């Protein structure tokens, strides 16, 4: 009979987790959602990068003491324990979970790692706990929203309890709604117009960022990504939250807009004009209006550089190599430019899919900026006009 729980090592922490061998699907793959407390080893990079980002934040920004971190969806407590033992400068971590089994396990893991002095454990709804703590004057330099599925219902409380210049981190695993493939759910949850589209993976990340920026603006907060990315089955966003009504309005005007897409020829443009029944200005085909969504950069270049430099001090991280590759990719990506799907363009031209490298070289030769995207191998980003882009694809 195998044990119900096992102790694993992640980062510098030892964590008691449900025995994965007991929760295998018929295809022998571990299903974390079936375990009494949620722990997904596939999310190790998500947690590793969070440790790195929090370290970078505390290295670059001075906060009044005590420096507090909130982990309101703590599961086994793995993040809370890791923030307490791996990030210098963290004074207190507030770990919470609604589930009674999780609550007990967080307490055990806190004791096992000897961080009882630093980690306070709560059991309640994340929104209730964050608003209650905020009402008592407890705010956080880093709030980690890591729920099942959508983070949307928790973004307001997250913004409200993040200190000025702190970071609100959010994970979203509802990629089908966000990308527009399950557009009714996505439109409802994120208060946007969504439809299936040819750059869904990209659209999903921008819908999430746009939602966070718009919710921030309702409370005179500027919410801007320092690092945001897509990885396999989830989106992860680390956004700086700062006070500022005027800047919040500016961000809404300049960085958030609608995206108009023509499915036939691939034409796209950001627009703030919502006109029903519009046709494509390039080919006359039907267009789709998506958004509002984030049109700005997905990363802050100087923060990304700090993360890449810092990573050399984190050789112990299990996902170090994968993380280094992701950060390197993001550094080379023109994340502020719109994404095109080469499959759409090749289909319009009735030609074979060209090598991405060839298209990028052609665009650069014509004087445009162009790059791959980390979200999908068949997407590219460019500031080129569609005519030149189609020439490069043909
Ligand atoms: C995806 S898991 C968290 C995983 C954990 N952060 C990690 O990295 O291993 C989501 C957790 O949120 C808890 N949860 C679900 N709804 C909640 C709510 N409204 N408030 C607080 N916790 C909640 C679940 O019990 C579960 O442990």
Same structural domain, 30 and 76: yes
pLDDT tens string 67-81: 999 999 999 999 999
CATH code, domain with 392: 3.30.56.70
Same structural domain, 255 and 116: yes
Same structural domain, 114 and 195: yes
Same structural domain, 115 and 24: yes
Residue 343: Cβ within 10 Å count: 14
Closest approach atom of ligand 1 to CA 76: 9
Beta strands in the chain (DSSP E): 5-10, 13-18, 68-71, 92-96, 119-122, 140-145, 162-172, 221-231, 234-243, 256-262, 268-271, 287-294, 339-341, 370-372, 379-382
Same structural domain, 141 and 213: yes
Nearest Cα residue to atom 6 of ligand 1: 74
- Cα-to-centroid distance, 180 and ligand 1 (Å): 25
**For the chain, what is the domain count?**
2
Is residue 325, in this structure, part of any structural domain at all? Answer: no
pLDDT tens string 199-234: 999 999 999 999 999 999 999 999 999 999 999 899
- Domain of 361 in residue numbering reads as 337-394
Same structural domain, 282 and 391: no
Closest approach atom of ligand 1 to CA 147: 10
Domain end point (choices 251, 277, 301): 301
- Cα-to-centroid distance, 315 and ligand 1 (Å): 28
Domain end point (choices 279, 301, 323): 301
Ligand 1 within 6 A of CB of 211: no
Ligand 1 within 6 A of CB of 108: no
The residue to mutate among 147, 151, 155, 318, having the most atoms of ligand 1 within 8 angstroms of its beta carbon, is 147
Predicted local confidence at residue 276, as pLDDT: 73
pLDDT tens string 376-388: 999 999 999 999 9
Domain end point (choices 301, 321, 351): 301
The answer to whether residue 309 scores a pLDDT higher than 90 is yes
CATH code, domain with 245: 3.40.50.150
Ligand 1 within 6 A of CB of 294: no
Ligand 1 within 6 A of CB of 79: yes
Is residue 172, in this structure, part of any structural domain at all? Answer: yes
């Amino acid at each position: 009979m195998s044990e119900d729980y096992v102790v694993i090592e992640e980062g510098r922490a030892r964590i008691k987790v449900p025995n994965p061998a007991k929760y295998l699907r018929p295809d022998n793959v571990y299903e974390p959602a079936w375990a009494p407390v949620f722990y997904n080893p596939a999310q190790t990079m998500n947690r590793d990068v969070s440790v790195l980002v929090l370290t970078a934040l505390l290295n670059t920004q001075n906060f009044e003491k005590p420096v507090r971190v909130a982990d309101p969806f703590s599961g086994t407590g793995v993040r809370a324990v890791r923030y307490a033992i791996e990030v210098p400068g963290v004074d207190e971590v507030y770990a919470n979970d609604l589930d009674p089994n999780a609550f007990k396990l967080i307490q055990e893991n806190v004791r096992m790692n000897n961080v009882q002095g630093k980690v306070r454990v709560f059991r309640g709804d994340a929104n209730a706990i964050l608003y209650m703590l905020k009402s008592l004057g407890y705010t956080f330099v880093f709030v980690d929203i890591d729920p099942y599925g959508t983070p949307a219902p928790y973004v307001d409380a997250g913004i409200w309890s993040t200190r000025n210049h702190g970071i609100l981190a959010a994970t979203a695993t509802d990629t089908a709604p966000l990308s527009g493939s399950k557009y009714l759910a996505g439109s409802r949850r994120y208060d946007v117009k969504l439809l299936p589209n040819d750059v869904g993976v990209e659209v999903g990340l921008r819908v999430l960022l746009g939602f966070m920026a718009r919710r921030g603006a309702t409370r005179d907060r500027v919410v801007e990504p320092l690092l945001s990315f897509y990885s396999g089955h989830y989106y992860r966003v680390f956004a700086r939250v700062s006070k500022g009504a005027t800047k919040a309005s500016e961000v809404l005007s300049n960085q958030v807009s609608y995206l108009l897409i023509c499915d036939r020829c691939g034409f796209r443009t950001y627009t703030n004009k919502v006109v029903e029944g519009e046709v494509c200005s390039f080919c006359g085909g039907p267009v789709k209006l998506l958004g509002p969504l984030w049109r700005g950069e997905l990363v802050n270049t100087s923060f990304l550089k700090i993360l890449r430099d810092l990573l050399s001090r984190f050789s112990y991280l299990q996902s170090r190599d994968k993380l280094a590759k992701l950060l390197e990719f993001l550094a080379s990506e023109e994340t502020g430019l719109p994404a095109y799907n080469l499959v759409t363009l090749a289909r319009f031209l009735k030609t074979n899919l060209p090598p991405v490298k060839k298209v990028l070289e052609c665009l650069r030769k014509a004087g445009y900026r162009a790059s791959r995207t980390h979200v999908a191998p068949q997407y590219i980003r460019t500031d080129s006009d569609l005519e030149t882009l189609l020439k490069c694809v043909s």
